[in-house]
Structure 1
Amino acid sequence: MTAQPETRSALGRAVDEIEETGIAIILGLMCLITFINVVLRYGFNTGLIWGLEATSFLFAWLVLFGISYAVKVTAHLGVDAIINIVPRPMRRALGLVAALICVAYAALLMKGAWDYWANFANLPQTTGRWFPTGIEEMTRTSYRGWYEVVDIPFPEWLRWIEPIMNEGEHYEKLPRFIPYVILPFGIALLLFRFIQAAWRIWTGRAESLIVSHEAEDAVDEVSDMNKGD
């Protein structure tokens, strides 16, 4: 079955823009910081102390943006050995089951990502072992907004958050809740993409979940090149 052209909703278009713009900005910043560090190191025998940590965080952001974007563009690898030997109606059923498993998996990740980030953002974690069953009660000792990263300095234009997150105390380094926010945000994007994929199968616009044939395409490309020789 050939996937039918899909009219994207306003939400879908907004998520597309967020992912594509975010990936482009992150790649640009990683290249810029790395280039500046190389010039400073080999040209002036110095460097950005915080450069390595910054690029590490940016790479983590890139990965978490990338996994949801790869779902959208069907770039994740898939094994279709079983799907190809069953009748077409069964393919759709198997695809829907796989999509629902992915949605449940992303929901589990979402709880873990929120609870981890909330620990640094002065926000309550959820109760329940697997799925949220409520909100934990916050106490004064629960606030962890004062945790900082190792090297990245705190930007002056963010001083306004100190009374909110750090009881008015000055930050010397960037608080961890800022780079760690990509955890719940990125997993929320992944959950959204899996729900989209499940909906496409349910409405008949696709018969299986995301499947990429990169290996087969590479073999075909090499074969075509050899024929040309």
Structure 2
Amino acid sequence: MQTLRRAWEHLEEGMIAFLLAAMTLVTFTYVALNNIYTLFYALSDRWAPTSDFFGAIGDHLMGYAQGMTWSVALTKALFGWLIFFGIAYGVRTAGHLGVDVLVRKTSRPVQRLLSLLACACCLAYAGLFLVASCKWVAALLAAGIGAEDLDRYGIKVGYITLIVPVGFALVIARYLEIFYRLFTGRQTGLGLADEAAEATKLANPGEEPR
């Protein structure tokens, strides 16, 4: 079970890293092409003997830049995927905004009860969006609407929006894990970040937690 969970976490982190890298690479390439061809045009104007050579390079680079009209649409799609992968990752790492200042002032049993209630609300919220997003994506796939500037490559809007139900399913899986840990008394608050303290305690059984 631990091996499967670690594989899931590595896959989640790998997808986030891949999406960030892909967004950066696409944007950098597009910006670079739109600025480099002007350099070759400037060189073409400066030296007459090599004017045709540098001019031809500039023409090719400008053609590539003009052909990358899909880059903005692809970056938007990648960003959308990053958001929904990031939601589940934020739940795991407790990377969300902390709103439990008052809750932490109560006793541990009360904290656990309030956390169970909050977790149930999060599960209900994510469940509603999962059902709604599944119907939405199914309608988009049935309509077969092409994605802006990406339809030439056979990419449909429905393909891009598939991440919405997938993202909410990942969120539900995370909150189910948190609910189980709350129910069994292994933690008192939302998030899974406190597992680091438990891992340290297991690795050093004689050492008191800080």
TM bin, normalised by shorter chain, reads 0.7 to 0.9
User: Residue 32 of structure 1 is aligned with which of 25, 29, 51?
Assistant: 25
Q: Structure 2 matches for 1:25-64, cutoff 5 A? A: 25-44=18-37, 45=62, 46-47=65-66, 48-64=68-84
Equivalent residue, structure 1, for 2:145: 147
Tell me how far 1:41 sits from its aligned partner.
0.8
Matched-pair contact (CA < 8 Å) for 2:147–2:156: yes
Equivalent residue, structure 2, for 1:117: 137
CA distance in structure 2 between the aligned counterparts of 1:186 and 1:154, rounded to whole angstroms? 27
Letter in 2 for 1:54: L
CA distance in structure 1 between the aligned counterparts of 2:106 and 2:35, rounded to whole angstroms? 60
Structure 1, unpaired ranges of 5+: 1-6, 122-142, 156-172, 213-229
Structure 2, unpaired ranges of 5+: 38-61, 194-210
Q: Structure 2 matches for 1:81-160, cutoff 5 A? A: 81-121=101-141, 143-144=142-143, 146-155=144-153
1:196 aligns with 2:177: yes
Equivalent residue, structure 1, for 2:203: none
Matched-pair contact (CA < 8 Å) for 1:96–1:201: yes
Letter in 2 for 1:91: Q
Q: Which structure has the highest strand share of the two?
A: 1
Equivalent residue, structure 1, for 2:197: none
Give deviations 1:7-33, integer Å, cap 9, x for gaps: 7362x3343233112111111110110
Matched-pair contact (CA < 8 Å) for 1:79–1:211: no
Letter in 1 for 2:169: A
CA distance in structure 1 between the aligned counterparts of 2:108 and 2:2, rounded to whole angstroms? 26
Matched-pair contact (CA < 8 Å) for 2:73–2:149: yes
Sequence identity percentage: 32
Equivalent residue, structure 1, for 2:2: 8
Give deviations 1:18-57, integer Å, cap 9, x for gaps: 3112111111110110011011111124341000010001
1:184 aligns with 2:177: no
CA distance in structure 2 between the aligned counterparts of 1:27 and 1:187, rounded to whole angstroms? 20
CA distance in structure 2 between the aligned counterparts of 1:60 and 1:175, rounded to whole angstroms? 15
Equivalent residue, structure 1, for 2:57: none
Tell me how far 1:175 sits from its aligned partner.
1.4
Matched-pair contact (CA < 8 Å) for 1:99–1:209: yes
CA distance in structure 2 between the aligned counterparts of 1:179 and 1:18, rounded to whole angstroms? 19
Secondary structure at the aligned position of 1:205 is classed as coil
Matched-pair contact (CA < 8 Å) for 1:77–1:211: no
Structure whose alpha-carbon radius of gyration is higher: 2
Find runs of 4+ consecutive structure 1 residues off by over 3 angstroms. Answer: none
CA distance in structure 2 between the aligned counterparts of 1:31 and 1:181, rounded to whole angstroms? 22
Tell me how far 1:81 sits from its aligned partner.
2.7
Q: How many residues align?
A: 166
* TM-score of the two chains, using structure 1 as the length reference: 0.67
Equivalent residue, structure 1, for 2:58: none
